[in-house]
Chain A
Amino acid sequence: MSEPVNNGGKPAPAPGGKRQQEERRKFLRAAVVGTGVVGFSLAGFLPVLEDDHGRRLRPPGALDEKDFLAACIKCGQCVQVCPVEAIHPADLWDGFGVGVPFIDPRKQACDFACDVGQCILACPTGALEYRKPAFLAVRPGAQLPAPPVLLAKENDPNPTLQFKERMGVARLDRPDACLSVLGKGVKGPARGESFRGLKRYTDVDRWNPVRVREHPYDLERCDLCVRECPIKGAISIQADDTGRLTPTVHAECVGCGVCQMMCPVEPAAIVVDARGTWGGA
């Protein structure tokens, strides 16, 4: 019995030189294309390097920015569970942060309409956590003085939110534009008729957020940032040295951004510094 032979199917074998040349070409093409792909992926470093501390407001319970980008699997489960649709996955411009969730508080802040931080419960990888794992340090000033009390459930057996660190801190950015400081009032919807933002008003509906534009105000002096703040004791109106009534942020502030969303002035007089710490930059 002789061995089976290979005489069909394949085209006639090319001369050794030509075959080798094709192999070399394949290799060179692979090297060039591979370099291109890795190069493109590494370009994702640029937006991250530009701002190491994170310019994005992340959902509550997010790890520190670098750990957050490492631990987030970009699945968007947090996006899906948010009742006010405050969370969105980022686009190409975020580089390594593409697909990572963020909050644009001016458009739609997190008002904890879910009562517990559904996004934290939904996160499968621990990128959003009530309590950081022990091996990750807490930045000074990021720790909240006490578990934040959610006004909407103040009468519940446990009125607190369970996370330990703030998302950021609110700051009165433009006191000269602040309606309270100027002694001006608000009549009608806080952000105009076209604003699509949602908010939970416990006196309207405990469980279903409504459009802010469907909840008009009639205030002689604006105090929306204080009135609508979902956290107990996070902000109050104080008279400053000159007697001007100024919104003043306290250590209880979790940085949710509701004040920034509700501020009737354009651009907002009060803003949240994402990842801001108490008493720090």
Chain B
Amino acid sequence: MGRRLEDFRRMLGAEPRRPEPGDYSPGARQIHDTKRLKKSDFDALKQVAVKHRANKRWRRRRWTTLIVVNLLFVLSYWLDVQLVEGSLSGSRFLGFHMIDVNAALQLMLAHKHLITNLLIGTATIALVWGVLGGRSFCSWVCPYHLLAEWAEKLHLLLAAKKIVKDHPLHRGLRVVLWALFAVLAYGTGYTVYETISPTGILSRAMIYGPGVVLLWIFALLAFEVLYSRRAWCRYMCPVGLTYGVVGTVSPVKVSYDLSKCFHEQDCRKVCLVPHVLDTVVKGRAVTEIVDIGNDCTRCGLCVDTCPSGALHFTITGVTKRRTGE
């Protein structure tokens, strides 16, 4: 329970808390002790352990999924096959209502009235992402995420050449924006956030054709390339926070194996939300296996990147656990 709370605290923008001495499980303590060797011994241990080679397997799967899902929306309208009608904010998949949870929240606050179809669609989507891990929506479906990943590459390239520099923002901003947009929807009676939602704008642009409103997307991407790495997804997007909450109890997650980790932190360098990987810092993991928290987008970049295979996807109740909590 304590860890769940800590995950939430972190998702809401707090800095990760360092564990107290009493927090460690005996197993974890033992592994941490093993690692306090002479450097030469540690390196020797590493040589034996390193089996996992960095690859792009999960990224390939994810990009394919993201493109296929969005293409399904586009093609089912263009070719009139009526498989998924609508766009990411609301659709019918083979006739079943699907409503984006954040958009539904905005709408109910603005309209102050509940519609049965809306509730059914929202519940369906909440269930889907509750199982698949809330923020999986971000990295596996949201079209802005893909564009932002490419913008991030450009940013890193320019940063390596010292042309641009990353300016981190306070992560609490996302919570403030979430609350502000909720208040604005209720107060003004308009779905204010939907006006600027990159998810909705991009989804509609692909299906119904581009518009001037795409300038907002370009502005966001330019901001991320030139000033602040992955700023929208990291510090601002209220949709990410909503889905983070939805996926809190999801059985699908990335799991960390302390015994295989050599604390090189390559994972944190590629991660969209490095605060969820605080546990990989040497001395922080309180159990031998640590599940990564609810702000994780399950993008799998860390799984691909880890040189020693310490991170992997698990499904609680399906994947066999090596050790207990």
Contact = CB atoms under 8 A, between A and B. Distances in A.
A30 B169 contact: yes
Contact of A26 (B32, B169, B189): B169
Contact of B89 (A40, A67, A75): A75
Nearest to B286: A4
A89 B283 contact: no
A45 B195 CA distance: 10
B107 A95 contact: no
Contacts of A141: none
B282 interface: yes
Contact of A74 (B89, B211, B212): B89
A74 B204 contact: yes
Given A1-B33, A4-B32, A80 B193 contact: no
Contacts of B8: none
Given A8-B282, A9-B264, A124-B92, A26 B107 contact: no
B194 A34 contact: no
A162 interface: no
Interface in A94-111: 95-96, 98-99
A36 to B, nearest CB: 9
- Interface size for chain B: under 10, 10 to 19, 20 to 34, or 35 or more residues? 35 or more
Contacts of A8: 263, 282
Interface stretch (B51-59, B108-116, B134-142, B248-256): B108-116
Interface string A36-67: 01101110110010000000000000000011
Contacts of A173: none
A27 B284 CA distance: 26
Nearest to B28: A4
A81 B204 contact: no
Contacts of A79: 208
Contacts of A135: 113
A71 interface: yes
Contacts of A66: 189-190
B212 A93 contact: yes
Interface residues of A, number: 54
Contact of B173 (A25, A33, A96, A98): A33
A9 B265 contact: yes
B36 A75 contact: no
A77 B107 contact: no
A26 B283 contact: no
B211 A92 contact: yes
A47 to B, nearest CB: 10
B32 A80 contact: no
A125 B118 contact: yes
Contact of B236 (A3, A33, A69, A126): A33
B87 A70 contact: no
A125 B177 contact: no
A88 interface: yes
A74 B100 CA distance: 11
Contact of A125 (B115, B172, B235): B115
A29 interface: yes
B90 A77 contact: yes
B170 interface: yes
A29 to B, nearest CB: 5
B204 A99 contact: yes
Contacts of A38: 177, 180-181, 184
Contacts of B259: none
B29 A1 contact: yes
B207 interface: yes
Interface string B135-177: 0000000000000000000000000000000011110110011
Contact of B170 (A26, A81, A93): A26
B191 interface: yes
Contacts of B264: 9
Contacts of A4: 24, 29, 32-33, 36, 282-283
B195 A96 contact: yes
12 contacts: A1-B33, A30-B173, A34-B177, A34-B180, A38-B177, A41-B184, A66-B189, A73-B103, A74-B200, A75-B90, A80-B86, A125-B90
Given A44-B195, A92-B213, A124-B117, 18 more contacts: A5-B282, A6-B284, A8-B263, A8-B282, A29-B167, A34-B173, A34-B180, A38-B180, A74-B89, A75-B86, A76-B86, A77-B86, A89-B208, A96-B195, A98-B194, A99-B204, A122-B85, A125-B99
Nearest 4 Cβ contacts at the A-B interface: A75-B90, A4-B32, A91-B211, A30-B173
